[in-house]
């Protein structure tokens, strides 16, 4: 399904702001659609690469980078550091940049699924606080972890060029999800992945409290806790661990998370020096794609309990193509509740206006109950800021309308 977006927005009111705290943050990058492909000799070997932080030992650093302590987060911080050093000679001197590791709520609580912990900013709150308090100068985040509203006194002026947005399938016994035997368990902490897996392969089971860093999840797979898992290909590429990949899922088979594969870097809103450094690293195409995706997410008011996927990219003609999805956590949610709201209103109105009742509302509700598990939409329009914000918001409004009352009341 493809819907053309309106040509141009005529107002910036309520739209994404690149530099304002308390506004929808910006960032992302489009990739070409790539077909599902298998990577050779990957099913029987799992490697566990580790990247360690090399924190400069100096009393005074010109720039302090705040980051989580996982190998992937450190890889992203190192990528940021290296780009800053190559672009600014004063930052290339020994000790000029320091990496500061900060533990977040999401890192501390590993015994529960993310959806059960609740709240937004599980992997960013403590880093943002350190930024606001002046303990660090910039914060490096995986953009998919960043809430749609930034904390006051902070801005997010930079996205590095986006990595591959697709999800990787990893298994020691099958080459794809379709080849897993019925009853096989797939480990993933992502409700987005869970809902799409069960929607297409209802015979499979999902272990949703499958948490930990990439190395931990690969170890659990090797130990037989699950028969397969899905991981972001971007993370595996940044860790140089793609030899673990069994196959890569196409965008059509597994729509990625909003801003998946994009790195976002924030600083204090009054720090012009840091803002200037970050502006020099910004990848505009990525930033615009993430703007579109996050406008979609903000309209749906998504949380860790809502499976939402969104992806914007530039096609061969230079247009923006956006695809969005919202689903029930198990991929099979009944819409009886939504129909019940509608039918009760309709039947009561019909009775009061016509003073007759032709049939039992309970009978109608049970007869008309249908099962809607995944709702999808798409848009096409100019690869321009205003248009892309409009496309994201319009796509979100469409899915809210299709879902009806009760769909998000899990």
Strands 167-171 and 154-159: unpaired
Active-site option among 137, 145, 164, 394: 145
Cα–Cα distances (Å) from 391 to 170, 201, 356, 384, in that order, read: 34, 30, 44, 10
Q: Which residues of 143-216 form beta strands (DSSP E)?
A: 154-159, 167-171, 185-187, 205-207
**Span of 48-57, 84-93, 157-166, 387-396 with lowest mean pLDDT:** 48-57
Residue 145 appears among annotated catalytic residues: yes
Local confidence band at 211 (pLDDT 50, 70, 90 cut-offs): confident
Contact 204, 162 (CB under 8 A): no
Residue 291 is given by DSSP the state H
Using pLDDT thresholds of 50, 70 and 90, give the confidence band for residue 410: low
- What percent of the chain has a predicted confidence (pLDDT) above 90? 62
9: confidence class by pLDDT, cuts 50, 70, 90: very low
Say if strands 167-171 and 319-327 run parallel, antiparallel, or are unpaired: unpaired
The reported pTM is 0.77
Is 17 a residue whose pLDDT tops 50? no
Q: What is the band of 166 on the pLDDT scale with cuts at 50, 70, 90?
A: very high
Name the more confident of 265 and 209: 265
pLDDT of 343 higher than 50: no
Q: Does 179 have pLDDT greater than 80? A: yes
- For residue 279, the number of C-alpha atoms closer than 13 Å in the C-beta half-sphere is 10
pLDDT tens profile 188-205: 989 899 999 999 999 999
Q: What is the pLDDT of residue 212?
A: 84
Whether 297 shows a pLDDT value over 80: the answer reads yes
Lowest-pLDDT range of 13-17, 44-48, 52-56, 392-396: 13-17
Which pLDDT tens digit goes with each residue over 234-266?
Answer: 999 999 999 999 999 999 999 999 999 999 999
CB 259 within 8 A of CB 290: yes
pLDDT of 22 above 80:
no
pLDDT at 137 over 90: yes
């Amino acid at each position: 399904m493809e819907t053309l977006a309106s040509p141009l927005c005529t107002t910036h009111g309520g739209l994404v702001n690149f530099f304002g705290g308390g506004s929808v943050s910006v960032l992302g990058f489009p990739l070409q659609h790539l077909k599902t492909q298998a990577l050779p000799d990957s099913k029987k070997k799992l490697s566990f690469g580790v990247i360690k932080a090399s924190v400069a030992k100096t009393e005074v650093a010109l720039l302090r980078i705040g980051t989580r302590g996982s190998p992937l987060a450190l890889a992203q911080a190192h990528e940021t550091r290296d780009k800053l050093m190559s672009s600014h000679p004063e930052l290339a001197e020994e000790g000029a940049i320091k990496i500061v590791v900060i533990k977040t709520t999401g890192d501390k609580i590993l015994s529960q699924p993310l959806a059960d912990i609740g709240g937004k900013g599980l992997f960013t709150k403590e880093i943002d606080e350190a930024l606001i308090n002046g303990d660090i100068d910039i914060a490096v985040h995986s953009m998919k972890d960043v809430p749609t509203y930034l904390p006051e006194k902070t801005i997010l002026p930079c996205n590095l060029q986006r990595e591959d947005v697709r999800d990787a399938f990893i298994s020691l016994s099958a080459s794809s999800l379709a080849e897993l035997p019925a009853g096989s368990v797939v480990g993933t902490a992502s409700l987005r992945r869970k809902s799409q897996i069960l929607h297409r392969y209802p015979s499979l089971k999902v272990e949703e409290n499958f948490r930990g860093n990439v190395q931990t999840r690969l170890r659990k797979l090797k130990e037989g806790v699950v028969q397969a898992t899905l991981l972001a290909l971007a993370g595996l590429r940044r860790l140089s661990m793609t030899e673990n990949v069994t196959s890569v899922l196409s965008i059509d088979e597994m729509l990625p998370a909003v801003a998946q594969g994009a790195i976002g870097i924030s600083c204090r809103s009054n720090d012009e020096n840091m803002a200037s450094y970050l502006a020099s690293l910004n990848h505009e195409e990525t930033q615009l794609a993430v703007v579109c995706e996050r406008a979609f997410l903000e309209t749906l008011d998504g949380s860790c309990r809502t499976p939402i996927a969104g992806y914007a990219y530039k096609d061969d003609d230079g247009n923006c193509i956006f695809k969005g999805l919202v689903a029930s956590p198990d991929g099979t949610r009944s819409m009886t509740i939504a129909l019940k709201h509608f039918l009760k209103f309709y039947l009561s109105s019909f009775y009061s206006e016509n003073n007759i009742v032709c049939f039992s509302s309970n009978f109608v509700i049970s007869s008309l109950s249908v099962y809607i598990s995944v709702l999808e939409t798409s848009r096409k329009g100019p690869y321009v800021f205003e248009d892309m914000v409009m496309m994201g918001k319009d796509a979100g409004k469409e899915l809210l309308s299709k879902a009806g009352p009760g769909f998000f009341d899990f």
